[in-house]
Chains A and B, each alone.
Chain A
Amino acid sequence: MDIHTLPTTDDVAFFRSNGYWLSPKLFSDAELAELRVHHAAVVAGEYETKRPPLSRDPEPGITSRLVQVNNAYWTDATIARHVLSVQIGRIATHLLGVKGIRLWHDQLLLKPPQSGKAGNIGWHQDRGYWSCLDRDDQITAWIALEDVNEENGCMEVVPGSHTWGLLGEDHFYQQDIDQQIARIEQKTGKPFTTKPCILPAGCVSFHHSLTIHGSRPNVSTRPRISIAVHLIIDGTRYRAGTPSEDHTSNTLRRPRDGDLYAGPYFPVLFREDEPNANVWMTAEP
């Protein structure tokens, strides 16, 4: 993994004004080849560590619809090494302008080929699913394991939408995504303009947790495979009484109001003032 690339001042400014940023290639071809093999194994339910993921949908073997595996890093050392990478954390802290970053959870994703509308991911803000976090400004790193483009249903973002506040439009599984646009425009009074995140394999897109995003069908003949690494700012606390208190990550330690998200279920990826804070990974320099 390219451990030297960091967003420039312009990149950071772009992220802060648009709510997303596309990195240059961070993963080598050899790493991508290895990751694809391990991605396929986890999708098939072959867990190298014998430890199952936190949750998954659908069951192993079914790839005719969108596959989501949460905390896939538990199941596989190669995936863990990249999900918990110091470099991903370092970039995220730069973009957000914070001191440290922890993993919230990962999501191994597969959008099947020729998916039709079933491959659509409705327009949503991640924050809508994470209202239990006491801060708005969280971030996701989305790692492209294949080239992604409009043909295979790349992620699309609405630039600047992270400044619109939480809209309550949380329709990840909404398949008629055009219907949503009119409603969002009416709510915000702003034009709904999307930007496709076209990424060569090995690049990573970073988006703010309030940035509206979604995706369209994969009309290609190959599955679109990726890993989303959802990150939270070090120091984020649990806020009780929100619609997302049943989020799967909350089942790990059953937090109470005001509890810090900390510990081995929310490992530190990077801390600016503590070089060795990422204690779980051995492969990082």
Chain B
Amino acid sequence: MRFSTFDWTLVAVYVLLAFAIGMLARKRITNIADYLVAGRHIRYNLGVASLVATELGLVTMMYFAEQGYRFGFAAFIIGVIWAAAYFMIGQTGFVVERIRQLEIITITEYFQVRYSRGVRVLAASLLTIAGVLSLGVFLKLGAVFIVNFTDIPETSLHLTMTVLVVIVVIYTILGGMVSVVLTDYVQFVFLAIGMLMASVFVLHYHGVISIFEKARELYGAGAMNPFTHPEYGWTFIAYWAVFAVSGCVLWQPVAQRILASENPELNRRIFKSTSVMFLGRAFFPILWGIGAALYFGAAGDPTAGMPKFLAEILPIGILGFLAAGMFAALMSTDDSYLIAWSGIIVQDLIAPLRGKEISESGRVMLTRICVFMIGILMLIFGIWYELKDSAFRYLLDVTTIYYAGGLPVLVAGLYWKRANLPGAYLAFAFGAFLPLAFVAEDIILQARGIGEPGFFNELFSANMRGLMSFVLGFIGMGIGSIITGNSPALAGKQS
């Protein structure tokens, strides 16, 4: 292992600097939450940087690299569709423009205003389940990267996960969100440079032209074509396209930034520019994954392959530079998501169900308790749970639990006058059924020590399961609304 004391020093300096900036600025800035949620202006540069930095987590790079390792260049379709979804929304203003006109702050707030508090609570419950289930994997992937990229022994994976949880939870409880927003710019620059440099080294190692030839040998000629690839194909493309649109309009960290802007034109520009960035977000790690597969061969570990490979080929200094960026990305994403899920639990579950006012200090305290509890949960789950398929597939399934109902409820609410409360409930119930049943069955089977695939695993392919979930969500909305015919009080202009 080539990770040197100099590299560790770079990581330490960067992390301490980020902490220091955050803590110092925290004393001076009291209304960062206002900035994020209360409709103030977001400027173009910060809008793009903040959006990309938040979604540019270490886990993202790990699962993209894993896809690259396993399926070669065909995996690029993931980035292409994701970028296309962002561009399409930027071009058309689909959903986001209507939501902005309605002066909505959060998507769950829209569910309450348009349907009912119950729909908001249901949506928040599914979002929390999806979020907490995914965080366990976030932690594990973060630790896998660190132990394989640095000189930490691989046997210390669980210890690394524990240390990571402790750092992230302390950072978050101390008010890390402020640091994250402030350091988004720095992180964005660090990571962008680091990713470019790493990609240059990967291409230099394998050769710009010969990497394609080597990949064709390793994966076979068909592996270049996502439309015919057995892992992807049209079902995946349809599923992933709907999923990507859901990600743009339903994912709170993204939606929050859109809704904070008062200028629809700016929103569109941010989305269109971000689409290019998101293309890079997928392309670079997939390239590293392919490089790793060519280095270690098909029998290597697709998850640990990328960090191991980069650790082998990157020079001292660059290793530390990239590690610092990656660590910052991990902190940023884990911190943002811990805050997001804790906030949802407090704002959208505890507060509405309690029915009584919770003081500001009470909310802060409850949020911190939730951060702590989720931290414990993600550690236990992350250590215990073994992924059966790729991390990408797992994250797709758990997120579909929320998206498959959330998309029809949001879109129909905005564009279909007859969308109503029973429709919303049915959409969430129908949409969540398949992925929830699949994930729950998988966890139960593992708890009982059964290694065989369960009923829901074999019922449909992973792609069909995801696509069907969205179809069922829309069917639920349609059936519920048409059969009951209850008119909503607030439909919004439908023209």
Contact = CB atoms under 8 A, between A and B. Distances in A.
Interface of A: 48-51, 73-77, 79-80, 246, 251, 253-254, 256, 259-260, 262-265, 276, 279-282
B104 A264 contact: yes
Contact of A280 (B31, B117, B360, B492): B492
Contact of B491 (A73, A256, A264, A282): A282
A276 B493 contact: yes
Nearest to B488: A49
Interface in B80-99: none
Given A256-B34, A280-B102, A264 B489 contact: no
Given A264-B109, A282-B493, 13 more contacts: A49-B489, A50-B116, A51-B115, A76-B489, A77-B488, A246-B357, A259-B38, A264-B104, A264-B110, A279-B102, A279-B492, A280-B490, A282-B494
A138 B460 CA distance: 60
A77 B487 contact: yes
B364 to A, nearest CB: 13
* In the A-B complex, the 4 residue pairs with the closest CB atoms: A80-B489, A263-B103, A264-B113, A77-B487
B103 A282 contact: no
Nearest to A246: B357
B390 interface: no
A282 B417 contact: yes
Interface in B309-359: 357
B39 A51 contact: no
A210 B110 CA distance: 34
A79 B487 CA distance: 12
Contact of B486 (A50, A73, A246, A253): A50
A281 B101 CA distance: 13
A73 B113 contact: no
B99 to A, nearest CB: 10
Nearest to B356: A251
Interface in B162-208: none
Which of A75, A80, A246, A280 has the most chain B CB atoms inside 10 A of its CB? A280
A48 B420 CA distance: 11
A49 B488 CA distance: 5
B421 interface: yes
A262 B110 contact: no
B105 interface: yes
Nearest to B34: A256
A104 to B, nearest CB: 15
A265 B113 contact: yes
Contacts of B490: 73-74, 80, 264, 280
